[in-house]
Structure 1
Amino acid sequence: MEKSIGKFNKIYTKQLATIFIGFVIFGFSENIKGPAIPRIQFDFMLSESQLGTLLSLNALGYLIACSFTAYLAKVWGIKWVTIAAFASMAVSGILMFFSHYYPMFSTSYFLMYIGNGMLEIGLAILSARIFVKNTGMMMNMTHGFYGLSSTAAPLIATGLMKLTIAGHTLDWRGMYLVMLLLSVIPIVMALFSTFPGDVTSHKDRIPLKALLKDRVLCLMVLVLTFGVVSELAVGGWLVNFLEKAYSWNTVNASEMLSIFFLCFALARLLLGPITDRIGFVLSLIIFSGFSALCTFAAILGGERVAFLFAASGIGIAMIYPTVMAFIAKRYPKGTDMAITFTVTLMGLGSVIGNYLIGGVIELVKHLVGVNSPTSLLRGLQAGYGFIGLCAALCAITGLILYVYLYKRKEII
């Protein structure tokens, strides 16, 4: 009996280590782009619209990966899907280092997002299978490690880009190489881990037709899409906004992004129990609404209240893990398919969202007048206002979902 318990504890510890380290690496890969994007834009001479298109194409890679990962998890098992995800991220870092022409760079960046998409689904399924008690708290805690690595990512990226080794400055290419090669660590962890569900049948999988007819899940897709577009857009656009709108230097702008992710991480680590107490859907409404208010106030208040950009991270941090906890509770026998369905459609929304942000900036610049000294500022404010609008729409959609569930007495 004691041997069985000891063996179980070792297996569970390895599973937890894979999840936590996986989220740390995931946070790095997602959010080192903030300080790098202005340099990438300069090196390849990209406009704001082209930059938005680049981020959208990469979100498309994420979307494609989400669409086939569930099938691979069924055939290979989550263990090998996880290893493949990290391996593709490491390979993309190597390719990026040697990318001196835009086609090769965009291809390697696309590959990184393929890995991110596979990892997103794998970690979400694994977490849903393991955390059957205090689901909201545990989901937020594990995702909190994503926030912690995201907090450090912009500062680490800025430092590495300035680092000189043997007379050669790493710049953004070397920075991506170093950071993405860290994926080797969770690959080793996964090789020595056993994952739950890999040897069980999948007879309880929910048919796709049933998911398409489920109004609750469709509303949750909208909640997650608006929330994630708002969350991910900050990593890609905040440093760019502060540098160009307020003439901040890279270090100060990266510090503000790090503060955003610090608020983001602490919220997930500390506020997770609240979601279990007051309910998942009500939590989504409150936290996304708070993020929207902070974002709009930061834009309208100007540079003196720029700290509100960081404070918005407290609210938006709670959206993704709370949605995952909701799905795990509502669909205990079909979690894999429900997560895949939700995240895949969310990925489609992210593609559109990133494209629209860049498009809004360019549109407003032209409406104000390209030669006007305030055109870039107004364009950036409008683009960032779209991020706040997504957070507001997340709260509104959550409210619609709450009313629907309340009438059916199905509040979770």
Structure 2
Amino acid sequence: MKSRFSIHSLTSNYALLLMVVFGGFLVFGFSENVKGPALPRMQSELGLDEMQIGLLLAFNSLGYLLACSFTAWLDRKLGLKLTTMLSFGSMALSGLFIYWASNYTSLASAYFFMYIGNGLLEIALALLAARIFTRNTGTMMNLAHFFYGLSSMVAPLIAAHLMGVQLFGSELGWRGMYALMLALAVLPMLPALAAKLPNEETVAEERIPISSFMKDPVAWLIVLVLSFGVISELAVGGWLVNFLEKAYGWSTTASSAMLSAFFVCFTIARLVLGPVTDRIGYTRSLILFSGFSGLCSIAAILVGEGGAFLFAAAGVGIAPIYPTVMALLADRYKGNSGTAITFTVTMMGIASVLGNFAIGAITDGIKRLFADSSDPAGGLVAGLQAGYLFIGFCAILCSLTAYLLYRALSRQKQLI
């Protein structure tokens, strides 16, 4: 009878942990992707110019990177349970701060606080997933990140609908939408409160300091793989619609539909390709998937408008990169996954900011280079093509650095 009770308790706790991880990634996807429909309304209501919007988004990156730098420390000091509860609670609270924002300063502060919560949540979920997905790690990591893709796919549509809802005689607007959507963070807090969250099983003498990671060539190769992959992944959301509208003259509806098709491919890939990564190995998967994505993006530009479907197909290859790298970190650095994930994601965040800046600089530079007073649109199209080619090139670089990682791990006989 005692044995039955123990097995039942273990199973029940695992179910609660899955609810925390899957629910957490759902909330994370919503918080990241409701800003698209909201930003134009914020800009109009508060009278913000493009520079202020750019600074607002820069605060996102700053808050996110700041949180990434101290989440593992919180895990060691407070335990993973309190750290996870703190991340969910701060996100829910940031929704109220955004609701009360009456000017640019208060809005920027609220956004900064929200992205501290986002950074806390991403690292906390990565740490939790690394500790509970000890078997079929690639499959389970991809399944967890499938929920991020699922909410990312529907978040803009839900946000646009909610902002137009009439409540108590007035429109809910962007403030009410943010308050409601971020309040969803309270839901995963309930299973997190009831569950027993695992802390990392390592003694102080076994803990690897972050300075050791900085001296490890393999750790830096993993950073490069993740950085190039994430730059290519995130850039699609910011540049695809813009490219299709201005280069091909597509309508906003048609361009948005192609972006939705990208996210459909992206989400399905995370659901079905997880077992493939476990079967053929993490590094081989990274080489093949990122290479496929890069070739699709580059071919889409070279073929022209007729090859636009390849923009969506690129989502199949780029989708597994982030969760597969997380699975690699969890398996390679057992007992030190907190430090490994924190180091890798923080470096990736810095590289992502630089990468997105590079896309903008390349687009603007080529536009100016090919600008012609008789055909000003020609320079813009050339700039957009060059910028998107760089996005595809980043995916190719992800594949090439994954190959270097494969060779390095092969030499050390540590292939996973």
Q: Give the TM-score normalised by the residue count of structure 1.
A: 0.91
**C-alpha distance 283-389 of structure 1, shift in aligned 2 (>3 A):** same
Query: How far 1:335 sits from its partner (Å)?
Result: 1.2
Specify which of 363, 368, 371 is matched with residue 370 of structure 2.
Answer: 368
- Quote the residue 1:150 is aligned against: 152
Cα distance in 1 for partners of 2:401, 2:133 equals 27
Specify the code of the residue in structure 1 equivalent to 2:89: A
More relative contact order, 1 or 2 (CA 8 Å, 6+ apart) = 1
Larger mean CA deviation between 242-251 and 106-115 belongs to 242-251
Query: How far 1:29 sits from its partner (Å)?
Result: 1.3
Cα distance in 1 for partners of 2:108, 2:81 equals 28
Specify the code of the residue in structure 2 equivalent to 1:77: G
**Count of paired positions:** 411
Cα distance in 2 for partners of 1:45, 1:243 equals 24
Query: How far 1:7 sits from its partner (Å)?
Result: 1.0
Identity over aligned residues, as a percent? 55
Q: What SS class does the counterpart of residue 374 from structure 1 fall into?
A: helix
Q: Does 1:390 align with 2:394?
A: yes
Query: Does the Cα contact within 8 Å between 2:202 and 2:336 map onto a contact in 1?
Result: no
Q: Does 1:406 align with 2:414?
A: no
Specify which of 367, 378, 381 is matched with residue 377 of structure 1.
Answer: 381
Residues 85-123 of structure 1 deviation map (CA, whole Å, 9 limit, x = unaligned): 122222222233344533333322222221111111111
- Quote the residue 1:305 is aligned against: 307
Query: How far 1:205 sits from its partner (Å)?
Result: 1.8
Q: What SS class does the counterpart of residue 284 from structure 1 fall into?
A: helix
**C-alpha distance 46-304 of structure 1, shift in aligned 2 (>3 A):** farther
Query: How far 1:70 sits from its partner (Å)?
Result: 0.3
Query: How far 1:246 sits from its partner (Å)?
Result: 4.4
Query: How far 1:150 sits from its partner (Å)?
Result: 1.4
**C-alpha distance 13-222 of structure 1, shift in aligned 2 (>3 A):** same
- Quote the residue 1:140 is aligned against: 142
- Quote the residue 2:218 is aligned against: 216
Query: How far 1:160 sits from its partner (Å)?
Result: 2.6
Specify which of 316, 319, 326 is matched with residue 317 of structure 1.
Answer: 319
Query: Does the Cα contact within 8 Å between 2:201 and 2:335 map onto a contact in 1?
Result: no
Query: How far 1:14 sits from its partner (Å)?
Result: 0.5
Residues 179-216 of structure 1 deviation map (CA, whole Å, 9 limit, x = unaligned): 22211111223222210117975553212222112111
Specify which of 9, 12, 15 is matched with residue 13 of structure 1.
Answer: 15
Query: Does the Cα contact within 8 Å between 1:97 and 1:174 map onto a contact in 2?
Result: yes
**Structure 1, unaligned runs of 5 or more:** none
Residues 230-282 of structure 1 deviation map (CA, whole Å, 9 limit, x = unaligned): 21222333344444444545444433333222211111111111111111111
Alignment of 1:191-230 (within 5 A): 191-197=193-199, 202-230=204-232
- Quote the residue 1:276 is aligned against: 278
- Quote the residue 1:90 is aligned against: 92
Specify the code of the residue in structure 2 equivalent to 1:404: A
Query: Does the Cα contact within 8 Å between 1:34 and 1:254 map onto a contact in 2?
Result: no
**Structure 2, unaligned runs of 5 or more:** none
Alignment of 1:44-55 (within 5 A): 45-47=48-50, 54-55=56-57
Cα distance in 1 for partners of 2:112, 2:273 equals 34
Q: Does 1:237 align with 2:239?
A: yes
Cα distance in 1 for partners of 2:30, 2:66 equals 21
Larger mean CA deviation between 257-266 and 269-278 belongs to 257-266
Query: Does the Cα contact within 8 Å between 1:235 and 1:257 map onto a contact in 2?
Result: yes
Specify the code of the residue in structure 2 equivalent to 1:383: G
Query: How far 1:166 sits from its partner (Å)?
Result: 4.5
Cα distance in 2 for partners of 1:130, 1:63 equals 25
**C-alpha distance 45-374 of structure 1, shift in aligned 2 (>3 A):** farther
- Quote the residue 1:78 is aligned against: 80
Query: Does the Cα contact within 8 Å between 1:153 and 1:258 map onto a contact in 2?
Result: no
**C-alpha distance 199-279 of structure 1, shift in aligned 2 (>3 A):** closer
Instruction: Report the RMSD for the aligned CA atoms in angstroms.
Output: 2.5
Which structure would you say has the larger Rg? 2
Query: Does the Cα contact within 8 Å between 2:31 and 2:182 map onto a contact in 1?
Result: yes
**C-alpha distance 311-175 of structure 1, shift in aligned 2 (>3 A):** farther
Cα distance in 2 for partners of 1:177, 1:190 equals 21
Query: How far 1:390 sits from its partner (Å)?
Result: 1.7
- Quote the residue 2:185 is aligned against: 183
Q: Give the TM-score normalised by the residue count of structure 2.
A: 0.90
Cα distance in 2 for partners of 1:229, 1:339 equals 18
Cα distance in 2 for partners of 1:81, 1:174 equals 27
- Quote the residue 1:29 is aligned against: 31
Specify the code of the residue in structure 1 equivalent to 2:280: I
Residues 117-175 of structure 1 deviation map (CA, whole Å, 9 limit, x = unaligned): 11111111111111111111111111111111112122222333443445534444443
Query: Does the Cα contact within 8 Å between 2:200 and 2:336 map onto a contact in 1?
Result: no
Cα distance in 2 for partners of 1:173, 1:364 equals 38
Q: What SS class does the counterpart of residue 225 from structure 1 fall into?
A: helix
**C-alpha distance 241-153 of structure 1, shift in aligned 2 (>3 A):** farther
- Quote the residue 2:260 is aligned against: 258
Larger mean CA deviation between 100-109 and 72-81 belongs to 100-109
